[in-house]
A and B are shown apart, each in its own frame.
Chain A
Amino acid sequence: MAVVARGAVRRPSRFRYWREWLTAYTFLAPFLFFLVVFVGAAIVLAIYFSFTDYDLLSDPVFVGLKNYQAAFQDESFLHAVRNVATYTAVVVPVQTFVALIMAAVLDQKLPFRRFFRIAWYLPCVASSVVTTLIFMWLFLPDGFINAALNFIGINVRINWLGDEATALPSIMFMNIWATAATMMLIFLAAIQDIPGPIYEAAHLDGAGPIRQFFQITIPLLRPAIFLVVLLGTIGCFQLYDQVKIATNGGPNEATLTVTYLLWKEGFRDLNMGYASALGVILFAGIFAISLVQRRFLDVRPDY
């Protein structure tokens, strides 16, 4: 471009500028159209409807903050928030820890490590529907989970997903199984980015692989840990598929989540206004927790 423009006078170059401008927007137009309609307008509508009562049949009625006030007095919503908080508090640390161990194991130059990597990753690529159906079957009172426990001497016949006490922990297990390897890949990439000379120096100083892991790898992985904790938390806040497929929020609201409540209010009971308010609250919650985590977890690497 520059080569051509240099010999030309000022007017053609201005023309060229406008033409590039027009071309750029022509290239962008299809994507921008969908972005404006299904994200831009949708966000505005979500906020607007959250201030209304709307049941699809009659026109929306403006009700101010009523939906938000209702949410914080709604036993089901508070129950859902408690469930999600418990779920996040267990799943995020366990999944981060397991993923870190998996990454550390894969980083050793083990034989068959390509096989290991792909085998561990399979739970992450199967659809949530398939993995949930599989675990619903494994979790049956006559299923393999109970059989395995009996095999090692724990004589139980628990109805894992049907019992109030075990339903949420069962879904936690399912989800850690299905997402740990994705987090592992983030850790693995970060581990492989750590400059080799640091390890060589440690090796010369007599540090073994375990000590190197705890004193070099983990401290240098802080940015990756931040990312994994953040992505994990966001994922936990949005827990939906397993609940929708396996338990419908039950038994007795033991697995009710905010997103499931949003679906139930909006699409089963047609309280579109209230469902929108729940959505806005969910967004605010995720946004707030991201800011808090950014504050408490230092993201800068040390080298």
Chain B
Amino acid sequence: MATRAATVTTVTVREPRFPFRISRIIFLVAAVIFTILALTPFVLTVSGSFKTKSEILDWPPTIIPQVFQWQNYVEVWTNSHFFPQWILNSVFLAAFHLFIYIGICSLAGYAFARLRFPGATVIFLAILGSIMVPGQVLWVPKFLILNQVGLVDNLLGIGLPDLAEVFGVFFMTQFFKSLPKELEEAASIDGAGTFRTFRQIILPNAYPALAALAILRFQASWNSFQWPLIVVRSPEHLTLPLGLASFQGLFGVNWNWVLAGAMFNAVPIILLVIFFQKYFIRSAASSAIKG
């Protein structure tokens, strides 16, 4: 509230014209209301994660915990045997995607952006068409395919099908198209083959795009819920989001643990968004292709 009063006064000083000032105050009030609506659930979660098991269910609810229960964060880590394992699984999944998915997308994107080959248009259109198919339609067949090769209830079973996600290929194709052609022409006069040119000339120039894709992919892998839920059964193979969802069933009324556990999933993403804001903003604005 203090910030709101402060902003209003600075605005008044800067913009003396009467009608404009009124609409500006209305806009600012709206902005503050939206901010309160967006942030309150998170603020209450942080506060709730420090309450005791009984205080968290008090009526009327307290906004600030009477005594901060730091041990909630320790207990959530130790009382459920698998919690550290879930975090490890999620880290593994994210790392697997960061390396393999980004490699695969860069290679394919380069082919679409720079190489001429028969079938390019057909394949590109087929990829475009595959966006139209909702993920849930493929749950059954993907599960049956993994079942055939013995990857059900396995982290690789979660990770492999996501490598067919087309967003990264579009993303890298667009980026490689924006690079100047002179880069490769110089290399090809020097006699470098396509692979060497790609590895030594193109990739080093693609770091910004690779970083952006890495951040977006990390978010997708770290948060992913639907497909992992289909693939994994045993508690030791769950990822963190799945574990948290099962947590709430396991512990029922221990909302303080549920909320403390949720922080382990939410905080890395929130930090990532704060530090790499522009990547998220841009990708959301271009999410037309993400479908």
Q: Are A49 and B140 in contact (CB under 8 A)?
A: yes
Please encode chain B, from 55 to 91, with 1 for each CB lying within 8 Å of some chain A CB and 0 for all others.
0111111000000000000000000000000000000
Chain B residue contacts of A43, Cβ below 8 A: 130, 133, 137-138, 141
Chain B residue contacts of A125, Cβ below 8 A: 219, 269-270, 272-273, 280
Please encode chain B, from 257 to 291, with 1 for each CB lying within 8 Å of some chain A CB and 0 for all others.
01100100110011011100100110011111001
Q: How far is the CA of A140 from the CA of B280 in the complex (A)?
A: 32
B127 near A: Cβ within 8 Å?
yes
Q: Give chain A's interface residue range (CB within 8 Å of chain B).
A: 35 or more
Q: How far is the CA of A21 from the CA of B115 in the complex (A)?
A: 8
Q: How far is the CA of A108 from the CA of B141 in the complex (A)?
A: 49
Q: Give chain B's interface residue range (CB within 8 Å of chain A).
A: 35 or more
Main SS of the interface on chain A?
Answer: helix
Chain B residue contacts of A234, Cβ below 8 A: 134, 291
B164 near A: Cβ within 8 Å?
yes
Q: Are B35 and A130 in contact (CB under 8 A)?
A: no
Q: Are B41 and A134 in contact (CB under 8 A)?
A: yes
Set A25, A127, A238, A244: member contacting B117, Cβ < 8 A: A25
Chain B residue contacts of A117, Cβ below 8 A: 277, 281
Chain A's closest residue to B23 (CB) is A209
Given contact pairs A41-B145, A129-B265, A177-B37, A262 touches B136 in the complex (Cβ within 8 A) = yes
Q: How far is the CA of A185 from the CA of B282 in the complex (A)?
A: 8
Q: Are A4 and B144 in contact (CB under 8 A)?
A: no
Set B103, B115, B185, B285: member contacting A24, Cβ < 8 A: B115
Q: Are A38 and B105 in contact (CB under 8 A)?
A: no
Q: How far is the CA of A174 from the CA of B198 in the complex (A)?
A: 45
Q: Are B134 and A283 in contact (CB under 8 A)?
A: yes
Set A147, A186, A237, A286: member contacting B287, Cβ < 8 A: A186
B203 near A: Cβ within 8 Å?
no
B99 near A: Cβ within 8 Å?
no
A196 near B: Cβ within 8 Å?
no
Q: Are B245 and A245 in contact (CB under 8 A)?
A: yes
Q: Are B42 and A127 in contact (CB under 8 A)?
A: no
Please encode chain A, from 117 to 157, with 1 for each CB lying within 8 Å of some chain B CB and 0 for all others.
11111111111111111111110101110010010000000
Distance (Å) between the CB of A74 and the closest chain B CB? 17
Interface residues of B, Cβ cutoff 8 Å to A: 3, 7, 10-11, 19-20, 23-24, 27-28, 30-31, 34-35, 37-39, 41-42, 44-45, 48, 56-61, 103-105, 107-108, 110-112, 115-118, 120, 123, 126-127, 130, 132-145, 147, 160-161, 163-164, 166, 169, 185, 188-189, 194-195, 198, 219, 222-223, 225-226, 229-230, 241-242, 244-245, 248, 255, 258-259, 262, 265-266, 269-270, 272-274, 277, 280-281, 284-288, 291
Q: List 9 A-B contacts (CB under 8 A).
A: A24-B120, A34-B163, A46-B138, A111-B7, A133-B262, A138-B44, A142-B57, A263-B136, A266-B139
Chain B's closest residue to A120 (CB) is B38
Chain A residue contacts of B118, Cβ below 8 A: 21
Interface centre among A4, A24, A106, A111 (most CB of B within 10 A): A24
Q: Are A267 and B143 in contact (CB under 8 A)?
A: yes
Chain A residue contacts of B248, Cβ below 8 A: 133, 136, 245
Given contact pairs A31-B108, A138-B41, A24 touches B117 in the complex (Cβ within 8 A) = yes
